Chain A
Amino acid sequence: MTMFLTIAVIVLVFLVIFQIAKASEYVAVLKGEENSRKQTNKINGFLMIGFLVLGLIGVWYCNDALYKKTLLPLDAASVQGERVDSMLWVTLAVTGLVFIITQILLFYFAYKYQESDKRKVFYFPHNNKLEVLWTVVPAIALTVLVVIGLRNWFYFTGDAPDNAMKIEVTGKQFGWIFRYPGKDGVFGKKYYKVIDPASNSIGLVWKDNAELNLKDDPASHDDIVNEQTMYVVKGKPVKLIIGSRDVIHDVGLSQFRMKMDAVPGIPTTMWFTPKYTTAEMKKITGNENFQYEISCDQMCGNGHYSMKGVIEVVTQEEFDMWMAKQTPYYLQAFPDKDPSKQKADSTTAKPAVANAATMLKAVAKN
């Protein structure tokens, strides 16, 4: 019923507008088209300047209401992000200035030079000096922006520092899988045809397979694999080696100002240095629920909007503690091969802890 009422109201409004429009056309014809044209010309000229003023107020108001909801009021959460932000401010200054000047000129000219019987137009078909001026000035401004941009670009896409921690990230519909190289510091081989969603989600090669011509890779035996939450260390560069299991995804890290596609068959990389732990960010943002979220930024199917991962930035000690609790993926798949479990009857769980500690050192080295 409300729907019919709404439709009726809309139709009615349309009819009213239409009748007014029709009537005004009649009036125009009866009054003399030239006169009424001049009258509406004045109205539109006034609206031009009105739009300019209201528009600029609107821009200010919009900024006032929304600026605090963006990432900009707070410090970027990575060392690289600071450079993105500073570049962003420079670009904003340049483009903002041009925006204000040109919009003011456009609407002011439209208002100022509206039709008047007294005005004689200025026949001004070209002027080389002016045209050179507005070719050269933008070219110089853009050169500056390109230089700043490319310096940052080569820094961001350059090699990660040697002490960077390596983590492999794999996207799948609709979630993230993370792999740490384990105590040997080497990622074991993987092959997509041995993927088993239940026990081997990224296809680690840990069994001989004559059919696929695969040989068991011992380096895969200590790899740590987990889903949804990635742990990284504050102040320590982290290099992500990114891939996908099915379609193209994208690792979007807005707080770190970083982004990189996950493409099946073609590994990509990205590195950054987190500046604040998750706990610190909770204080900085004043939001108890703050999380560093990994958003999938490349359309990947109907669950795209829910493809969320979490990055937990922690201190080195917390990281070591966490890592010590992890069981290699291989041992999760083959619990009977776990040396700590086999000896669990005779001794305590100590070997496992020792095991984890050496593993941690190896990870830290990488």
Chain B
Amino acid sequence: MSNEAVLHAHEAAVHQVHGDHHEHHHHETFITKYVFSMDHKMIAKQFLITGMVWAVLGGLMSVLFRIQLGYPDAHFPWLQDILGKWWVQDGRITPQAYYALVTTHGTVLVFFVLTAGLSGTFANFLIPLQVGARDMASPFMNMLSYWFFFTASLVMLSSMFVETGPFSGGWTAYPPLSALGDASPGSKTGMDLWLIAMALFVISSLLGGLNYIATVLNMRTKGMSMTRMPLTIWALFFTAVLGVLSFPVLFSGFILLIFDRNFGTSFYLSDIFVNGVGALPNEGGSAILYQHLFWFLGHPEVYIILLPAMGMVSEILSTNARKPIFGYMAMIGSLFAIAVLAFLVWAHHMFVTGLNPFLGSIFVLLTLLIAVPSAIKVFNWLTTIWRGNIRFTPGMLFAIGFVSLFISGGLTGIWLGNSALDIHLHDTYFVIAHFHIVMGVASMFGMFAGIYHWFPKMYGRYLNNTLAYIHFWVTIAGAYMIFWPMHYEGLAGMPRRYYDYSIWESFKQFADLNRFISTIAIIVFATQLLFLFNFFYSIFKGRKVTQQNPWNSNTLEWTTPIRPGHGNWPGEIPEVHRWAYDYGKDGRDFIPQTEPIGADESHH
């Protein structure tokens, strides 16, 4: 019995007619359609799939270093057969390989997956569709944005194969460690490639970000005022603004680092004696300067990762609760507040660097201030589902999971943002638990929610629901089982980025726990492979979408044909008459944005 025959026996009558393409349609070759595409939807898919490839690689890296942490005494000769002698010696992952894995895992997940893969995908896909535009402001720049990202990916990947190994000094790449090849083999060629990849990535981000901003500001359809935009667009807009303002600062930091590495300058270097080499000539630089430049991006980066997830979750919660988002203006206001504060809190990563304590106190205040808009968002989400009529689509499940994780991880931010507590908890597993829950897993959940919700729009087919439910429940339970106990390791002062804890009297009591965490991590990783399989299988074999608006949603993307061509709408772009959240109004399940306000409609 073929899949197609069962799933699509009754749909011949409703099958979408593609014949009447509008004037934008022109002859496309494989190259222009799938490779050097200028269609925002195709570029979104390119970002998504590249991001997924990186997510698998980055996740696999975490599995490998979790194997080391969970089974520090075990020998895995088969790992050596697969990875080779540089990575695995005597059946054990080498310290240098361990640090290279930790570093690359961080870099890749933060930048390539949760920045490019998340906002690259959904800003590209949703902005034109939800504001009512035929494409991005500059499709060509948009295409360049992807190909810069792709090149960055290739360079980063190539660093895995150099003789001295990939960069291994942590994703933050603090100099002097990252500046001195003599201090760590990973800081040799591997670091050069890391810097080139990151520089290309910054360019990609800027090209994309400028495009998103221009599109949101200039290309909204008739009637789509800023305050009628879905919250996804608001969130993606603020994300782009954050990126455009902060990535150049990171870039400048990298430029100075390149100068210090290659041209003998001393921006970050001072008074250094390297074992086996001797005293270096550099004097007068400040290693802390780099940290300021890095975290001036690094902190907004957290919100670059989180805001798109927040926006999509707001949209998905409202749609599937069949109820308007609660406090639309407060949601925009809190997004704005978060975006502004994101620039004013960077030094909370630096409380123990010897930062001026008075300056530190200002950063404590501003950091804890972020909890206020975050609280508003959480309570508004809770009120949104209160007295709704909830449909647990896979997207909805992940959106609820996002809120749960955001609460759990956000609350520990109140601990770490308070400098007097940070003195104790800084750089321990408490921090690992905090940011993985609030930024890593939560944003991943936002991304999954988005994928499940908009997959029908992307590919005209559904993902398999059963697999989706298994994916959700295993992942949320697993995520909590991995990261929740890490708080306790942090409360014992257990430092992060340790290859082996067995020589430490203060930390070795967690060997059993580490084994438990590693085991769960492997299971959760395997479950993600299930999702991946579902994704690629469903692109070709999934149940076909037969309704134009499968979730009964209000937003504009569901007014396009099931498989929209380049230009999105055949004929005129629809006009917008109302906000995106008229669910359950006046006894009607939903009222699309395109429907004019009725004469007897109630006001809110």
Given known contacts A197-B275, A257-B424, A297-B427, A252 and B467 CB-to-CB distance under 8 angstroms: no
Q: Are B176 and A192 in contact (CB under 8 A)?
A: no
**Residue among A110, A173, A289, A300 with max Cβ neighbours from chain B (10 Å):** A110
- Report 6 cross-chain contacts, Cβ distance below 8 Å, ordered by A residue: A51-B473, A106-B407, A246-B176, A260-B354, A269-B354, A308-B503
- How far, in Å, is A115 (CB) from chain B's closest CB? 5
**Residue among A26, A66, A250 with max Cβ neighbours from chain B (10 Å):** A66
Complex: A146 Cα to B348 Cα, angstroms: 14
Instruction: Determine the residue in chain A with the shortest Cβ distance to B274.
Output: A246
- How far, in Å, is A78 (CB) from chain B's closest CB? 11
Complex: A287 Cα to B505 Cα, angstroms: 9
A235 within 8 A of B: no
Q: Are A113 and B389 in contact (CB under 8 A)?
A: yes
Complex: A22 Cα to B414 Cα, angstroms: 45
Complex: A172 Cα to B183 Cα, angstroms: 10
A102 within 8 A of B: yes
Question: Which A290-316 residues have C-beta < 8 A from chain B?
Answer: 290-291, 293, 295-306, 308
Q: Are A99 and B408 in contact (CB under 8 A)?
A: yes
Complex: A254 Cα to B492 Cα, angstroms: 7
Selected from A17, A142, A247, the residue in CB contact (under 8 A) with B470 is: A17
Instruction: Determine the residue in chain A with the shortest Cβ distance to B94.
Output: A302
B341 within 8 A of A: no
A348 within 8 A of B: no
A265: which B residues are within 8 A, CB to CB? 269-272, 283-287
- How far, in Å, is B319 (CB) from chain A's closest CB? 12
B493: which A residues are within 8 A, CB to CB? 71, 252, 254-255, 295
B326: which A residues are within 8 A, CB to CB? 124-127
B477: which A residues are within 8 A, CB to CB? 51
**Residue among A24, A44, A269 with max Cβ neighbours from chain B (10 Å):** A44
Q: Are B391 and A126 in contact (CB under 8 A)?
A: no
Given known contacts A26-B7, A62-B485, A122-B584, A299 and B419 CB-to-CB distance under 8 angstroms: no
Q: Are A306 and B503 in contact (CB under 8 A)?
A: yes
Q: Is the interface of A mostly helix, strand, loop or mixed?
A: helix
Q: Are B485 and A66 in contact (CB under 8 A)?
A: yes
Instruction: Determine the residue in chain B with the shortest Cβ distance to A122.
Output: B387
B504: which A residues are within 8 A, CB to CB? 293, 295, 308
Q: Are B420 and A152 in contact (CB under 8 A)?
A: yes
Q: Are A58 and B480 in contact (CB under 8 A)?
A: yes
A353 within 8 A of B: no
B329: which A residues are within 8 A, CB to CB? 126
Instruction: Determine the residue in chain A with the shortest Cβ distance to B375.
Output: A138
Per-position 1/0 for B357-378, Cβ under 8 A of A: 1001100110011011001101
Complex: A145 Cα to B400 Cα, angstroms: 29
Q: Are B371 and A142 in contact (CB under 8 A)?
A: yes
Complex: A55 Cα to B466 Cα, angstroms: 22
B428: which A residues are within 8 A, CB to CB? 254, 297
Q: Are B324 and A125 in contact (CB under 8 A)?
A: yes
Not counting A62-B484, A149-B419, a sample of 17 additional A-B residue pairs whose C-beta atoms are within 8 angstroms of each other reads A17-B467, A70-B492, A107-B404, A113-B321, A123-B584, A192-B272, A193-B279, A247-B176, A247-B183, A248-B177, A254-B494, A263-B288, A263-B354, A291-B506, A299-B99, A299-B170, A302-B185
Complex: A264 Cα to B179 Cα, angstroms: 13
A3 within 8 A of B: yes
Question: Which A126-163 residues have C-beta < 8 A from chain B?
Answer: 126-127, 130-131, 134-135, 138-139, 142, 145-146, 148-150, 152-154, 156-158
B543: which A residues are within 8 A, CB to CB? 25, 29
- How far, in Å, is B282 (CB) from chain A's closest CB? 9
Q: Are A3 and B498 in contact (CB under 8 A)?
A: no
A332 within 8 A of B: no
Complex: A84 Cα to B493 Cα, angstroms: 13
For the complex of A and B, 6 pairs with smallest distance between CB atoms: A254-B493, A265-B270, A268-B354, A121-B584, A157-B357, A152-B420
B528 within 8 A of A: no
Question: Which A178-206 residues have C-beta < 8 A from chain B?
Answer: 192-193, 195, 197, 203
- How far, in Å, is B135 (CB) from chain A's closest CB? 32
Per-position 1/0 for B472-489, Cβ under 8 A of A: 010011001100110010
B581 within 8 A of A: yes
Instruction: Determine the residue in chain B with the shortest Cβ distance to A94.
Output: B414
Q: Are A261 and B354 in contact (CB under 8 A)?
A: yes
Q: Are B96 and A302 in contact (CB under 8 A)?
A: yes
A47 within 8 A of B: yes
A322 within 8 A of B: no
Q: Are B492 and A290 in contact (CB under 8 A)?
A: no
Per-position 1/0 for B410-430, Cβ under 8 A of A: 011011001111011011100
Selected from A3, A135, A258, A290, the residue in CB contact (under 8 A) with B505 is: A290
Complex: A163 Cα to B13 Cα, angstroms: 90
Per-position 1/0 for A1-19, Cβ under 8 A of B: 0010000001000100110
B19 within 8 A of A: no
Question: Which B138-191 residues have C-beta < 8 A from chain A?
Answer: 168-170, 174-177, 180, 183-186
Per-position 1/0 for B499-510, Cβ under 8 A of A: 111011111011
A210: which B residues are within 8 A, CB to CB? none
B86 within 8 A of A: no
Kindly state the interface size class of chain A when it binds its partner.
Answer: 35 or more
- How far, in Å, is A172 (CB) from chain B's closest CB? 7
Complex: A351 Cα to B260 Cα, angstroms: 52
Instruction: Determine the residue in chain B with the shortest Cβ distance to A28.
Output: B465
Selected from B185, B386, B397, B513, the residue in CB contact (under 8 A) with A109 is: B386
Q: Are B400 and A135 in contact (CB under 8 A)?
A: no
A69 within 8 A of B: yes
Q: Are A84 and B423 in contact (CB under 8 A)?
A: yes
**Residue among B284, B368, B496 with max Cβ neighbours from chain A (10 Å):** B368
Selected from B321, B480, B526, B604, the residue in CB contact (under 8 A) with A55 is: B480
B418: which A residues are within 8 A, CB to CB? 87, 91, 145-146, 149
Q: Are A40 and B505 in contact (CB under 8 A)?
A: no
Q: Are A47 and B378 in contact (CB under 8 A)?
A: no
A139: which B residues are within 8 A, CB to CB? 372
Q: Are B506 and A255 in contact (CB under 8 A)?
A: yes
Complex: A48 Cα to B287 Cα, angstroms: 49
- How far, in Å, is B374 (CB) from chain A's closest CB? 8
Q: Are B183 and A150 in contact (CB under 8 A)?
A: no
B530 within 8 A of A: yes
Given known contacts A304-B499, A305-B499, A291 and B505 CB-to-CB distance under 8 angstroms: yes
B218: which A residues are within 8 A, CB to CB? none
B352 within 8 A of A: yes
B382: which A residues are within 8 A, CB to CB? 102, 105-106, 109
A192: which B residues are within 8 A, CB to CB? 271-273, 279
Q: Are B386 and A71 in contact (CB under 8 A)?
A: no
Q: Are A121 and B583 in contact (CB under 8 A)?
A: yes
Question: Which B379-405 residues have C-beta < 8 A from chain A?
Answer: 379-380, 382-383, 385-392, 397, 400, 403-404
Q: Are A247 and B400 in contact (CB under 8 A)?
A: no
Complex: A76 Cα to B46 Cα, angstroms: 53
A350 within 8 A of B: no
B263 within 8 A of A: no
Instruction: Determine the residue in chain A with the shortest Cβ distance to B282.
Output: A265
- How far, in Å, is A324 (CB) from chain B's closest CB? 28
B3 within 8 A of A: yes
Q: Are A248 and B387 in contact (CB under 8 A)?
A: no
Selected from B185, B407, B420, the residue in CB contact (under 8 A) with A103 is: B407
A53 within 8 A of B: no
Complex: A153 Cα to B400 Cα, angstroms: 37
- How far, in Å, is B526 (CB) from chain A's closest CB? 7
B35 within 8 A of A: no
- How far, in Å, is A305 (CB) from chain B's closest CB? 4
Per-position 1/0 for B273-298, Cβ under 8 A of A: 11100010001111110000000000
B453 within 8 A of A: no
Q: Are B473 and A259 in contact (CB under 8 A)?
A: no
Complex: A306 Cα to B502 Cα, angstroms: 10
Selected from B168, B391, B464, B465, the residue in CB contact (under 8 A) with A115 is: B391
Q: Are A154 and B357 in contact (CB under 8 A)?
A: yes
B83 within 8 A of A: no
A264: which B residues are within 8 A, CB to CB? 176, 269-272, 287
